[in-house]
Amino acid sequence: MSKSVKPNTPIVDHIFTADPSAHVFEGKIYVYPSHDLDHDGPSNDNGDQYAMEDYHVLSLDDFNSPCVDHGEALHLRDIPWAKQQLWAPDAAFKNDTYYLFFPARDHEGIFRIGVATSSSPAGPFAPQENYIPGSFSIDPAVLVDEDDRAYIYFGGLWGGQLEKWQTGSFVPDAEGPAPTAPAIGPRVAELTEDMLNFKEAPKEISIVDEEGNPILAGDEDRRYFEGPWVHKHNGYYYLSYSTGTTHKIVYAMSQNPQGPYIFKGTILNPVMGWTTHHSIVKVEDKWYLFYHDASLSGGIDHKRSVKYTKLTYNEDGTIQTIDPYKD
């Protein structure tokens, strides 16, 4: 067990962790990260270096307490439909049950999204036999809204295969749109009451500029790449995500959980490592950003560490840009 965790330092250092989804459950801060492992395989744009096999759940009583590793909460070997690559997960609470949503490649090599359940936020989680019917791509994030309706957001380009689903079915050699065409957006679907199925076919979220024009595929400082997260503040929905090639966490706002979202700006400047991935959580009356970087491993991007820092809103509801290496 580590000592209390300071901002902008790894919350644990006995394992490598990435892609943190943070929530307050039962009065504690729970973090659901990926568990990065050593591997001997290739590193490429397909993400083969991210060969994760299990999930550990982490928790903190508060920011003055040590971070507890609750151990293995779910392993690849126990998920009948999944072959490899347990990537970025998220958790949600509804129906007196904790749900872990996670992506993995199925036995055909296609990324799908699965669900596992537990009576405890720390797990262990029991997976469903099959992935969510109609699910595809990576990086699920679930918002249970104030009216108790739940929405799942997901999708990631390149290794995450989102550009291969532009026709509605999987086209293995499909590429992304031309730079002057609208960028591919993340997907959203409302979940059924039992949280185990999509209520409807997933829809593409439109992200537009202040004039209502779609963000274009060539606009790499603003276009969607992967890692969606939606939180609600003062009646607005905030969709934040990674821009991928330009390594930023940016955000857009809407009054509707399913969009369209208006692009606003940058939340987190680039971190050390290729990937950047985050979540935003309110703890008591303050807001925090959980993120990862690869500084502890010496910049080896498939061995990342979860950190946190404070997030500040301006009076008009916009978010101040964070530099991860300045306090």
Residues near ligand FUB (CB under 6 A): 18-19, 34, 50, 87-88, 138-139, 156, 226-227, 275, 277
C-beta of 183 vs 208, nearer to ligand FUB: 183
Q: Is-contact 115 65, C-beta < 8 A? A: no
Give the pairing type, strands 203-204 and 187-190: antiparallel
* Rounded CA separation 259/135 (Å): 20
Work out how close the CB of 212 gets to ligand FUB at its nearest, in angstroms, rounded to a whole number.
28
First CA to last CA distance, the chain: 25
C-beta of 223 vs 277, nearer to ligand FUB: 277
Question: Residue 163 catalytic?
Answer: no
Query: What value, to the nearest 5°, has the Cα angle with vertex 322 and ends 321 and 327?
Result: 140
What residues contact residue 17 under an 8 Å CB cut-off, 6+ apart? 10, 11, 31, 33, 34, 35, 36, 56, 58, 292, 304, 305, 306
What residues contact residue 234 under an 8 Å CB cut-off, 6+ apart? 317
* Rounded CA separation 103/105 (Å): 7
3-state secondary structure (DSSP) of residue 85:
coil
Q: Which of the following is catalytic: 163, 226, 293, 301?
A: 226
Work out how close the CB of 85 gets to ligand FUB at its nearest, in angstroms, rounded to a whole number.
8
What residues contact residue 94 under an 8 Å CB cut-off, 6+ apart? 144, 148, 150, 195
C-beta of 106 vs 226, nearer to ligand FUB: 226
C-beta of 139 vs 163, nearer to ligand FUB: 139
What's the Cα-to-Cα distance from 181 to each of 19, 178, 248, rounded to whole Å?
29, 5, 21
Work out how close the CB of 36 gets to ligand FUB at its nearest, in angstroms, rounded to a whole number.
7
C-beta of 50 vs 308, nearer to ligand FUB: 50
Question: Residue 19 catalytic?
Answer: yes
CA-based R_g, the chain, Å? 18
Work out how close the CB of 73 gets to ligand FUB at its nearest, in angstroms, rounded to a whole number.
16
Work out how close the CB of 194 gets to ligand FUB at its nearest, in angstroms, rounded to a whole number.
25
* Rounded CA separation 160/106 (Å): 13
* Rounded CA separation 73/54 (Å): 7
Work out how close the CB of 19 gets to ligand FUB at its nearest, in angstroms, rounded to a whole number.
5
Q: Is-contact 276 248, C-beta < 8 A? A: yes
C-beta of 237 vs 274, nearer to ligand FUB: 274
Q: Which residues are catalytic?
A: 19, 226
